[in-house]
A and B are shown apart, each in its own frame.
Chain A
Amino acid sequence: EAGVAQSPRYKIIEKRQSVAFWCNPISGHATLYWYQQILGQGPKLLIQFQNNGVVDDSQLPKDRFSAERLKGVDSTLKIQPAKLEDSAVYLCASSPRTGGGETQYFGPGTRLLVL
């Protein structure tokens, strides 16, 4: 079974530029998550999709971050414009269903450095 795929793996941009990350979840997984992991901290949920609908985006900085999940499969997370404090690893995860206790399967992440 193929795992969660993410691209690019690394990205360096200057502040105020825009950037986009792509995620392909495990086939058949209905729920997709985007997390932000700042160095030395645990992952923080940015947005959760159930199929192509948003379940939770309460911690997504909506003035600069946006995300979509096309046809309930792939997802894209965008930052525009980027700030220095957005430097982090952006992790995508998927699970078969939503709900407490569901095992989440993580991709390798995209490392973003904002200069």
Chain B
Amino acid sequence: QKEVEQDPGPLSVPEGAIVSLNCTYSNSAFQYFMWYRQYSRKGPELLMYTYSSGNKEDGRFTAQVDKSSKYISLFIRDSQPSDSATYLCAMSVTGANSKLTFGKGITLSVRP
């Protein structure tokens, strides 16, 4: 079992749809949970960041972490064509020198 599993894609939705992206993980020591967005031929950029459990909202984006289920989600409301990208979940433990473990990524396409 991989440390981080991400729902397979690709995913295509119409503009304005609500999008749900999910990851599961096996390492209960993970405390930091992130979502990176990667446009084609670009490097990943941090989109959302959550420490431990709970929800975090930023504009149209909401990140949820359920540590009891080892499950994280990213919701995108009122999706736009500009949201078309690959979304990567990433996690790390606390402590110095800890590293990010990424999911495989899911490619989202928002149709106008």
Contact A103 B99 (CB under 8 A): no
B47 shortest CB reach to chain A, Å: 11
Contacts of B103 in A (CB 8 A): 42
**Given A106-B44, A106-B45, A109-B43 in contact, is the A40-B104 Cβ separation under 8 Å?**
yes
Per-residue interface assignment for chain B, residues 74 to 112, with 1 indicating a CB less than 8 Å from any chain A CB and 0 otherwise: 000000000000001010111111111011110000000
Contacts of A101 in B (CB 8 A): 31-32, 49, 51, 92, 94
- Chain B contributes a number of interface residues (CB within 8 A of A) equal to 27
Contacts of A4 in B (CB 8 A): 43
Q: How far is the CA of A55 from the CA of B95 in the complex (A)?
A: 13
Contacts of A41 in B (CB 8 A): 104-105
Contact B46 A56 (CB under 8 A): no
Q: How far is the CA of A28 from the CA of B41 in the complex (A)?
A: 26
Contact B41 A104 (CB under 8 A): no
Question: In the complex, which residue of chain B has the Cβ closest to the Cβ of A104?
Answer: B100
**Given A93-B43, A108-B41 in contact, is the A42-B90 Cβ separation under 8 Å?**
yes
Within 8 A of A (CB), among B36-87: 41-46, 49, 51
**A25, CB-defined interface residue at 8 Å:** no
Contact B49 A100 (CB under 8 A): no
Give the 6 A-B CB pairs with smallest separation, nearest first.
Answer: A42-B102, A106-B43, A100-B98, A101-B32, A100-B94, A100-B92
